[in-house]
Amino acid sequence: MKTLVTGGAGFIASNVVDAYVEAGHQVVVVDNLSSGNRANLNPAATLYEVDIRSDDLLDVLAKERPEVVNHHAAHIDVRRSVADPLYDASINIQGSINLLEACRKTGVRKVIYISSGGAMYGEPEYLPCDEAHPVKPLSPYGASKHTVEHYCHMYRENFGLSYTILRYPNVYGVRQDPYGEAGVIAIFTEKMLKGQPVTIYGTGEQERDFIYVGDCVTANLLSLQGGDGREYNLGWGIGTTINEIYQELKVATGYSLDANYGEAKTGETFRIYLDTTRIRQELNWAPAVPLREGIARTVQFFRDRA
């Protein structure tokens, strides 16, 4: 099968590309390399250095004719989305619509769209959040990611373009950029290994559902054939505080300093974790990498890179 992966030089999507290649699929990558890294690219994949907002995107799909498009490319910085919501919307909404139009015009069978379970629900009314939880995002990022879900539904109903939506929690692991992406585990790991001060924003009692990148990859593999017209939460269904993450990383890295605490950031949910019953039952997916093991793998990746 020929698949096209947007953002395929980035943290999560490059791992997905590797898995697709290993599974025997022909893979095309679209990435403008604004945050992606050429070093992440699988040599078996064909790269087009194209922005998803560009008119050139249609030319790429018309030339390559992928059967499935995996849409990871996005603006993911929650804090910048609050400061500059128009920029966030230009990529996450307008860019996604541009992609869906290209898919419609070139006969793509299916889109796997990456949404955000960590940001779209807002402050939960109940925990863990299932897919039926009310959507009340606190940030433009959460709003923009959910908006595209409606477009996916519309394109399926009107044009027969199949979709599966994966709502990610907080993803961490190998290849995460501690500078360009909002990943607390990557940021802390980089600073701890260098012996630099670490700042926790807010009380540190904020809870997140942390999932290792390899478990997201598995869901993307399963979604190639399953889950038509469905939205799926990923995650462990349990919350881990930022203070707990700090302590786990402190042990894993041998860090000796105490954390600094700063003012909490606007637009961020205080406590969120996700119910994954639907994807477990329908796609037979389950997370396989516990937090401590995932942290150990991540720290080793950063040590090796250094």
pLDDT single digits (tens) 218-270:
999 999 999 999 999 999 999 999 999 999 999 999 999 999 999 988 878 89
Task: Give the integer Cα–Cα distance in Å for 42 and 98.
Answer: 25
Task: Give the integer Cα–Cα distance in Å for 66 and 60.
Answer: 10
Catalytically active residues, by annotation? 141
The region that residue 24 occupies, defined by phi over 0 for left and psi between -120 and 50 for alpha, beta otherwise, is: left
Task: Give the integer Cα–Cα distance in Å for 104 and 254.
Answer: 52
Q: Which of 146, 170, 150, 155 is nearest to 242 (CA)?
A: 170
The region that residue 286 occupies, defined by phi over 0 for left and psi between -120 and 50 for alpha, beta otherwise, is: beta
**pLDDT band at residue 206, thresholds of 50, 70 and 90?**
very high
What are the chain's domains?
2-171+211-236+275-283 (3.40.50.720), 184-207+238-274+290-305 (3.90.25.10)
- Return the DSSP state at 264: P
pLDDT at 180: 60
pLDDT single digits (tens) 176-189:
988 765 689 999 99
Q: Which of 164, 202, 192 is nearest to 70 (CA)?
A: 164
Residue with tokens 């992928």: 66
> Concatenated DSSP letters for 168-182?
E-EEE-TT--TTTS-
**pLDDT band at residue 306, thresholds of 50, 70 and 90?**
confident
